[in-house]
């Protein structure tokens, strides 16, 4: 699959890049995408929630009333979950929500996500560029030239670039990420994937290893 390389003005440079069909042209596997996205979101959860059970709340352990003869239900101590101020039944406890997912499944998920973006023409290849200093207006201008205004878009860089990151963090809907950190979740939530030219080789080399 070939895509034209655009410059920051949104015009074609006359050069093209060849995207590997084994990565950008496979039959997408929806279940792999679901599992990888589910794992990503599960790993973001802190899991620090905690509710006190009847053995942890404050209160006496004295039996409230005698067992029989009152005409009402038997009752133990004041910390009973049925009483106000009592402990909670089966309350949440600190836990880790993440789960294991095979490496090949994660790779298949990312390939499937990239194939979806390629099949819907939502991948743009941009020639390498740099900024001398953080300038938000440069990213906004670039977004207008590439027709990605008011769309969720991700710039995929070959390596970290602090100036580009600082320039884009105040632009709504724009995210900057390196090729090695690109996840299935990032790909699927973006309307447009903008691959910097040198990031294409890094991305394709990631799947070959």
2-46+102-208: what fold? Ribosomal Protein L4; Chain: A; (3.40.1370)
Given a contact cutoff of 8 angstroms between Cβ atoms, the answer to whether 115 and 25 are in contact is yes
Instruction: Label the pairing between strands 153-157 and 192-196.
Output: parallel
Given a contact cutoff of 8 angstroms between Cβ atoms, the answer to whether 158 and 178 are in contact is yes
What is the domain partition of the chain in residue ranges?
2-46+102-208, 52-91
* β-sheet with 2-6: strand ranges across: 12-18, 2-6, 123-126, 192-196, 153-157, 174-178
> 154 pairs with which residues across the strands?
175, 193
Alpha-carbon radius of gyration of the chain? 27
Per-residue pLDDT of the chain (209 residues; tens, 9 = 90+): 788 888 888 888 888 888 888 999 999 999 999 999 999 999 999 999 999 999 999 999 999 999 999 999 999 999 999 999 999 999 999 999 999 999 999 999 999 999 999 999 999 999 988 888 998 998 899 888 888 888 899 999 998 889 999 988 888 889 999 998 999 999 999 999 999 988 998 988 888 76
């Amino acid at each position: 699959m070939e895509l034209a390389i655009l410059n920051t003005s949104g015009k074609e440079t006359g050069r093209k890049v060849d995207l590997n069909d084994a990565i950008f042209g496979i039959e997408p596997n929806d279940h792999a995408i679901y599992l990888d996205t589910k794992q990503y979101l599960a790993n973001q959860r802190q899991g620090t929630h905690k509710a006190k059970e009847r053995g942890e709340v404050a209160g006496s352990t004295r039996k409230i009333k005698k067992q029989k003869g009152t005409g009402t239900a038997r009752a133990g101590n004041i910390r009973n979950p049925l009483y106000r101020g009592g402990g909670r039944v089966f309350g949440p406890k600190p836990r880790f929500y993440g789960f294991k997912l095979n490496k090949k499944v994660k790779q298949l998920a990312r390939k499937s996500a990239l194939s979806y973006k390629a099949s819907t023409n939502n991948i743009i290849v941009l020639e390498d560029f740099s900024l001398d200093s953080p300038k938000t207006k440069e990213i906004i201008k670039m977004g207008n030239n590439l027709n990605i205004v008011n769309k969720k878009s991700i710039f995929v860089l070959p390596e970290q670039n602090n100036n580009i990151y600082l320039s884009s963090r105040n632009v709504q809907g724009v995210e900057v990420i390196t090729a090695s950190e690109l996840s299935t979740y990032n790909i699927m939530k973006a309307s447009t994937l903008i691959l910097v030219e040198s990031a294409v080789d890094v991305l394709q080399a990631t799947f070959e290893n």
